[in-house]
C-alpha cells in the first residue's frame, strides 16, 4: 500500500494563502456590457472579486484538509505508526478548526454580496470589497498556527515507508550501531541509507527491495532497516524505538537480529541477548523466524563469539559471521534470505 500521507504536500501559511486569493481576485474581470451604467459595472466587478477571493480560499483550505487522511481509518500499521510520529488529537483539532472557518467565509460572501446589490454609488463597491478582504484576512490570519503546524508534521508522515502487504518483509533489528544499515544497504536497493559511526543514525523505518526468482514468478522482498533498540522496559522506550517494535510486531516475516559481540557498539552483549530474547518471546509467532547474525567479526575474539553462541544455544550452522564495514560474508546473508523465500511453498 502506498504511504497514505504521500500526497500531504506543502501547506501554505496564512499570508501566502491571502496573497494568492487576493491577487487572483484583483486580476479577475466580470462580463459586463460596455454600454452598462457605471454603477452596474462597479457592482459586477466587485462582486466578481469577492466571489473569486473567497472561492480560492475555500478551495485551497478544503484541499489541505482532504490531503490529510483520517488516521483512525488507516490500516493498523499505518495507523499506529502515524500515531507515534504525531499527536493525532492535535492533528484532528487543527483540521477541525480549518474546516470550521469554511461556513464562516461562505456567510461573509453571502452577506456582503447582498449589501453590494444595494449600493447607490460606484465607489461604495470598492469599500465593501475592502471590508470583505479585511474580515477574511482576520479569519485566515488566526489560522496561521494551524497551517504552520500541519506543514511542520508533513515531513515526518511523508517519510513513512510504503508497504506492500502482499510481499514478504525482512527486518534487520538489534541494538544501535551494530551494523543493521550496512547490511540492508548491501542486500537491497536501499543504497542511500546514511551510515555513521555513532548510534541512532537511523531514526525511522527505511525500506529497500530485493527481487528473487521462484519457478515461474518473481518475488519482491521488502528489506527494512529499523531504528536501534535498547534493553529496557517498553514504557521507557522512545518513539524511535517504538517504530522498530511496531514493525516487528505487525509486518515482519523474517527478522535478522544483528549482534555486535564486541564492546564497540557501546552496548554490552548481555543487553543485546536480553533484547534478542524479548523479541523472540513477545513479538514472534510460529510463522516468523528470528535469525542471528554476528557482525564485526574482524574485531570479535573467539571467546566473545563462543560466549554469545553458548548464551543463545547456537551451533555454527545457525548463524552467519559478517563484517558489514568491508562487506565480508554479506553475500551469505543475501543468499540466506533468498533461499528462505524460495523454499517457502
Note the pLDDT tens digit of each residue in 29-49: 767 677 778 888 888 899 999
> Does residue 9 form part of some domain?
no
> Does residue 210 form part of some domain?
yes
For residues 147 and 161, give the distance between their C-alpha atoms in angstroms, rounded to a whole number.
Answer: 24
Give the pLDDT band (50/70/90) at residue 260: very high
146 shares its domain with 210: no
> Does residue 7 form part of some domain?
no
> Does residue 3 form part of some domain?
no
Q: Do the Cβ atoms of 240 and 156 come closer than 8 Å?
A: no
Mean pLDDT score of the chain: 90
How many domains is the chain built from? 2
Domain that holds residue 123: 14-158
32 shares its domain with 145: yes
As a whole number of Å, the end-to-end CA separation of the chain is: 24
Report, as an integer, the average pLDDT of 295-324.
88
CA 245 to chain centre: 16
193 shares its domain with 108: no
132 shares its domain with 214: no
> Does residue 73 form part of some domain?
yes
Tell me, what CATH number does 18's domain have?
Answer: 1.20.120.1190
- Name the 3-class secondary structure at 192: coil
In the 3-class helix/strand/coil scheme, how is 67-84 assigned residue by residue? CCCCHHHCCHHHHHHHHH
pTM of the entire predicted model: 0.83
338 shares its domain with 269: yes
- Name the 3-class secondary structure at 207: strand
Q: Do the Cβ atoms of 166 and 75 come closer than 8 Å?
A: no
> Does residue 173 form part of some domain?
yes
207 shares its domain with 228: yes
27 shares its domain with 173: no
65 shares its domain with 129: yes
255 shares its domain with 147: no
Amino acid at each position: 500500500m502506498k504511504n497514505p500521507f504521500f500526497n500531504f504536500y506543502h501547506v501554505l501559511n496564512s499570508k501566502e494563502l491571502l496573497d494568492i486569493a487576493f491577487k487572483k481576485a484583483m486580476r479577475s474581470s466580470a462580463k459586463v456590457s460596455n454600454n452598462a451604467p457605471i454603477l452596474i459595472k462597479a457592482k459586477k466587478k466587485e462582486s466578481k472579486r469577492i466571489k473569486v477571493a473567497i472561492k480560492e480560499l475555500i478551495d485551497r483550505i478544503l484541499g489541505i484538509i482532504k490531503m490529510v487522511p483520517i488516521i483512525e481509518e488507516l490500516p493498523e500499521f499505518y495507523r499506529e505508526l502515524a500515531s507515534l510520529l504525531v499527536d493525532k488529537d492535535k492533528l484532528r483539532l487543527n483540521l477541525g478548526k480549518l474546516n470550521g472557518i469554511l461556513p464562516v467565509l461562505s456567510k461573509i460572501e453571502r452577506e456582503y454580496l447582498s449589501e453590494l446589490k444595494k449600493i447607490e454609488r460606484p465607489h461604495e463597491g470598492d469599500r465593501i470589497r475592502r471590508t470583505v478582504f479585511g474580515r477574511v484576512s482576520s479569519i485566515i490570519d488566526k489560522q496561521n498556527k494551524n497551517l504552520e503546524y500541519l506543514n511542520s508534521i508533513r515531513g515526518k508522515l511523508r517519510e513513512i515507508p510504503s508497504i506492500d502487504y502482499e510481499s514478504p518483509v525482512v527486518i534487520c533489528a538489534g541494538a544501535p550501531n551494530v551494523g543493521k544499515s550496512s547490511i540492508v544497504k548491501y542486500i537491497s536497493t536501499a543504497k542511500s541509507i546514511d551510515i555513521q559511526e555513532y548510534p541512532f543514525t537511523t531514526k525511522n523505518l527505511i525500506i529497500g527491495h530485493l527481487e528473487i526468482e521462484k519457478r515461474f514468478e518473481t518475488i519482491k522482498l521488502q528489506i527494512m532497516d529499523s531504528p536501534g533498540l535498547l534493553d529496557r522496559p517498553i514504557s521507557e522506550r522512545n518513539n524511535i524505538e517504538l517504530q522498530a517494535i511496531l514493525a516487528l510486531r505487525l509486518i515482519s516475516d523474517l527478522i535478522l537480529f544483528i549482534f555486535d559481540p564486541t564492546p564497540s557498539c557501546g552496548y554490552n552483549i548481555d543487553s543485546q541477548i536480553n533484547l534478542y530474547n524479548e523479541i523472540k518471546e513477545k513479538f514472534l509467532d510460529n510463522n516468523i523466524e528470528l535469525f542471528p547474525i554476528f557482525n564485526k567479526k574482524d574485531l570479535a575474539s573467539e571467546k566473545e563469539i563462543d560466549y554469545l553462541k553458548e548464551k543463545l544455544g547456537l551451533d555454527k550452522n545457525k548463524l552467519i559471521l559478517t563484517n558489514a564495514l568491508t562487506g565480508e560474508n554479506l553475500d551469505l546473508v543475501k543468499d540466506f534470505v533468498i533461499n528462505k523465500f524460495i523454499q517457502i511453498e
